[in-house]
Structure 1
């Protein structure tokens, strides 16, 4: 395994993205953050904290579970477990920023967009991903990225967050490599 981000680099990426969002949105009163379970939830909270620290404005943050919107449910070996949404604001007319840890094929983004649209009609939907792998199968992308890493399809990107894993780091693992 090869480490590609450490705690300091993750914090720096979130701060840089927060500054870019403040610059792009000018007025944060209609901006809302939605983290995609599971790691996107914690990254969304960190982004919200950074936005408030830098702008002085508390940006609402929610969590969405896109399990029931996935396009691969029929291929699952077991029944999906829906953990629920926590969206403490109406999305109608808001500027929504979806947050996820890794973009691989962009199918999770499609599912998340459908889930948001079922809640109302936002003014816009943007995406922040800590890692963009560059293998999008759909014409969806992250406007805000922590890091773009070109990977092979066989490689895995492992994001570790202190809230779940006891540390902040990002790793690339290739299960096909000898000794991996």
Structure 2
């Protein structure tokens, strides 16, 4: 099921770590993998299995995180078909700041063949901040089906909520100030591309925190 035509766009890279500029790595590749494994086990325990669970990743980086979680669920629950439990939820047209940024790339919503009716939908995002993206996701879900329950998994919860929304599963609670930037870097979305791919150092998973402003809205909250 699609919320609209997908408009091709390149994913802006996250600024590389630069200690001299005050960028600190708070989670590395090993810690991110461990956090996702823990979240997968918590999902299975809370829902008494994973066969009625659907993981919907919120673009951009919530999508590969949802796939990784689905892979881990499949190792816990033998016989689980990854393709039947993972999808992608575009929330662009449900955002409450469209009047401020009217020109946005509209993505696509992809649901598993069985849909979400009667399922436990777990929304997956990289960074939970104000809660407004999740509010938009809840509105989007109400237009495409009626799940039995909706839960939220976030790799990082940095606080500063503006809405009464809290995650069910968290990789890391990260207290921050509003002047700080939290950036998530994943190999699926932030690897070297184009002419630089052959010469650039390989990207590794990381969660970075910085005082510097950024021009990228993706992967940085």
Is the TM-score greater than 0.5? yes
User: How many residues align structurally?
Assistant: 175
C-alpha separation in 2, matches of 1:142 and 1:7:
22
The 8 Å contact of residues 31 and 95 in structure 1, kept in 2 or not, is answered as yes
Of residues 18-27 and 51-60 in structure 1, the stretch that sits farther from structure 2 once superposed is: 51-60
More strand by share: 1
Deviation, 1:28, is 2.0
**TM-score (norm: length of structure 2):** 0.77
Which one has the largest radius of gyration? Answer: 2
- 2:48 is the alignment partner of 1:29: no
Match of 1:4?
26
Deviation at residue 53 of structure 1 after TM alignment: 1.0
Contact 1:10-1:169 within 8 A present in 2 as well: yes
Is the Cα contact below 8 Å between 1:51 and 1:58 reproduced in 2? no
Q: Does 1:171 align with 2:208?
A: yes
- Which has the larger displacement, 48-57 or 35-44? 48-57
Q: CA deviation at 1:27?
A: 3.2
Per-residue deviation, 1:115: 0.7
Match of residue 38 from structure 1 = 60
Higher helix share: 1
Q: What does the per-residue CA deviation read over 1:131-157, in whole Å, with 9 as the maximum and x for residues that have no partner? A: 001111111111100000010011110
Q: Any unmatched runs of 5+ in structure 1?
A: none
The match for 1:143 among 156, 161, 168 is 168
Q: What RMSD over aligned residues (CA atoms) do the two structures have, in Å?
A: 1.2
Aligned 8 A contact 2:26 2:209 in 1: yes
How far off is 1:58 after superposition?
Answer: 2.8
Where does structure 2 lack aligned partners over 5 or more consecutive residues? 1-22, 191-202, 214-221
Q: Secondary structure at the match of 2:88?
A: strand
